[in-house]
Amino acid sequence: MKNKSLEQSATRNFIRRSPNFFKSFSAVTKAKGFSLSGMSAAVGMTSRGKITARSAIDNMSKQEDGGVIDHGLDYLSGSRKNLNTKSKVKAINFYNKNKVVSGRSRTRGGSLKSKFVARAFRSLNENKPMFFNSIKGNYLMSVQSIKKSKRGKVKIKSRLLLKSRKGAPVNIKATHFTREAAEITIRKIERFYHDQAHKQFKRALNISR
């Protein structure tokens, strides 16, 4: 019940890219006793010891109460399946600092533009993405092709893979999706207990229907 309510509420309130996330990392402290008026249970998220899940769970708490995400990487549509922001990130596009073109230019002197073009050629030849800074933030891009016009103008075709959130925080509006899920579940509890009690009586009395 807790998984179904959480998933439905989350789907209504924000984009879910991992369909099994709540099934894997949600947990319940079960209610004890037999008095409905005095029983209580708690639903929450747990990383289950997985370091990679901690950041995602922290972001889930900000979806609930609101907050600012000011660290980590924001994977853009260019890194996702079918170039769709609602899809998962392709495995090949997960960030690996060892598979990124170095920020250092191998050429001495020159303008920022010429150094950028030189790094773009390296990115294309080595089949590695490269970072570049813009007014809107620090991006990682994959160079698809480089062409030179008859007038000598260099045209670079690229795809943005991700954006660093450092220096470009994202404000998250509170959705209260877990509260919403809890309220939906509470309304179903009486019927749930009735159905479960009926099953137990049938089992104990060996009733076929």
Q: Are residues 46 and 90 in the same domain?
A: no
H helix or E strand, kind and range, residue 137: strand 137-148
High-pLDDT (> 70) share of the chain, %: 87
Q: Are residues 100 and 131 in the same domain?
A: yes
Q: Are residues 61 and 98 in the same domain?
A: no
Q: Are residues 78 and 113 in the same domain?
A: yes
At residue 194, φ and ψ (nearest 5 deg) are: -60, -45
**Residue ranges in the chain modelled with pLDDT below 50:** none
- Dmax over Cα atoms in the chain, in whole Å? 90
Residue 46 is part of which domain span?
2-69+171-205
> Per residue in 43-89, pLDDT tens?
667 777 666 667 777 777 878 888 777 777 888 889 998 888 888 88
Q: Are residues 85 and 134 in the same domain?
A: yes
Q: Are residues 96 and 80 in the same domain?
A: yes
- The predicted pLDDT at position 193 comes to 75
Residue pair 100/131 in contact (Cβ under 8 Å)? The answer is: yes
Instruction: Scan for tokens 């929450």, then name that residue.
Output: 44
CA angle 20, 48, 1 (to 5 degrees): 50
- The predicted pLDDT at position 107 comes to 56
Q: Are residues 93 and 164 in the same domain?
A: yes
Q: Are residues 107 and 90 in the same domain?
A: yes
- The predicted pLDDT at position 146 comes to 92
Q: Are residues 193 and 175 in the same domain?
A: yes
At residue 36, φ and ψ (nearest 5 deg) are: -60, -35
